[in-house]
Structure 1
Amino acid sequence: MQFDEVIRGRRSIRGYKPDPVPRALIEEILALAMRAPSSMNTQPWNFYVHRRTARPHPRRQHRTDGGGRPAGPAFAGPHRERQIGVAKQLFAAMGIARDDAEKRQDWVLRGFRQFDAPVCVIVTYDRVLDGSDDTPFDCGAVTNALVNAAWSRGLGAVINSQGIMQSPVVREHAGIADDQVIMKSIALGWPDESFPANAVVSERKRVDEATVFVGFDE
């Protein structure tokens, strides 16, 4: 694909085929992603990639152990409005009514199961860098590069915070070393085009809404 096709065409994928993803292809994608820029070339990121087999029950634990990034305060204002907006798009695509508590709960649990993707990539960084402002930014850059590299090769992905909310379970199940801070998880696999939510394209702010130009001629 051309660069613009990848950027404009990529969608968050929440429904996957069960087909396995070859390890060599994952390594190729990671090698591309790791060309992402990082502060002073620190390259703080590491990856724990595991194939879907048996997963811990999503209700087993609902806490963090300090091994993952804090969730922060709840969204408010326009950020909350955008969060609600994409949720409405997804629920409409999936036929989930506002008052259907059972289907809504099932959707939440799908997130904890990494949307049943055949591969889960957990992005971590070296604990010695904890507290650095640059490190989370750098991990975001490599994560963005990863999902775009995957899309360019026909693979879908979704960056998923739910997948690491139970960090003690995640750390144990994925064999994550104690010297690593869990940053984010990514579900990865071949998109199931028949899954309705995969057709959802979230709305984006316009350039003029997000940008202030200084010193440019009109």
Structure 2
Amino acid sequence: MSSSSTVENHSSEAAALVDQAIEGRQSIRAFTDKPVPRALIEEILAVASRAPSGANTQPWKTYVLQGAVKDSLIDKVCAAHDALRADRSLADEYTEAFDYYPRTWVSPFIDRRRENGWGLYGLLGLERGNKDGMHAQHQRNFRYFGAPVGLMFTVNTVMGSGSLMDYGGFLQSIMIAARARGLDTCPQAAWNSYGKIILPHIGAGPDEMIVCGMALGYADESALVNTFRTPRVPVSDFTVWLG
């Protein structure tokens, strides 16, 4: 076999492995309690730290929550989530540091959101109007879907909106590195409204704000919810070819 053929085969194999990790990633909503070794978490974060950032600012900061510290945060945020449901006037106490979703939804984004929501709820047998069931399902976010590791990400408030773009690459790198090692994840913006509870709990400084949380662990392969796969529009729908 020629050297060029060897290089081509190696490149093809490498591409297949990378593609497999990317395409195999999905938002897992039920995990086993199998522990994740600290060394493996550190390895994933070290790989992800190679994500690009403007002027190499590396704006990310990661908190790894396990055991009693994680369970205590879960209790606090779930209590706040229940209280907010009971008294909507508390909404002003729980606000995001930045708008993750648009303030006004338009098509096609609202259509995709509805398709996603009702596809998931339909799979779980949660019919429209089942507020108790939807509340319980939403609260599973704040239980990290049973994952043994909860990640919380912050950014310094001095940074600009470009750092949130940089953060996207870092988060994706974590998820792909985890998948390549047989682990699964679920990125969670649901935590963002509870910064006033989360930040002091994790020991964050006054100059930090929540970017998002993430569940990390091993998927429960027997869970029905993990059969849910979101669709993607074809390349032709989001690409404009010029020249």
CA contact (8 A) 2:95 2:192 kept: no
Counterpart of 2:27 (choices 9, 12, 16) is: 12
- Look up the match of 2:57: 42
Question: How far apart are the structure 2 equivalents of 1:193 and 1:175?
Answer: 34
Question: How far apart are the structure 2 equivalents of 1:116 and 1:164?
Answer: 19
CA contact (8 A) 1:15 1:116 kept: yes
TM-score, scaled relative to structure 1: 0.90
TM-score, scaled relative to structure 2: 0.81
Question: How far apart are the structure 1 equivalents of 2:50 and 2:64?
Answer: 18
Letter of the 1:44 counterpart: P
Question: How far apart are the structure 2 equivalents of 1:21 and 1:27?
Answer: 11
- Look up the match of 2:136: 106
Letter of the 1:172 counterpart: P
- Look up the match of 1:198: 226
Deviation at 1:65, TM superposition (A): 6.2
Residue segments in structure 1 that go unaligned for 5+ positions in a row: none
Counterpart of 2:79 (choices 59, 66, 69) is: 59
CA contact (8 A) 1:33 1:143 kept: yes
Counterpart of 1:180 (choices 178, 190, 208) is: 208
CA contact (8 A) 1:120 1:185 kept: yes
- Look up the match of 1:121: 151
**Which residues of 2 match residues 25-40 of structure 1 at below 5 A?**
25-40=40-55
Letter of the 1:70 counterpart: D
Question: How far apart are the structure 2 equivalents of 1:186 and 1:173?
Answer: 16
* SS state at 2:44 partner: helix
* SS state at 2:226 partner: helix
Higher mean C-alpha deviation, range 202-211 or range 100-109: 100-109
Residue 145 (str. 1) matches residue 173 (str. 2):
yes
Question: How far apart are the structure 1 equivalents of 2:58 and 2:51?
Answer: 9
Task: Count residues in correspondence.
Answer: 212
Larger Cα Rg: Structure 1 or Structure 2?
A: 2
Letter of the 2:71 counterpart: T
Residue 77 (str. 1) matches residue 116 (str. 2):
no
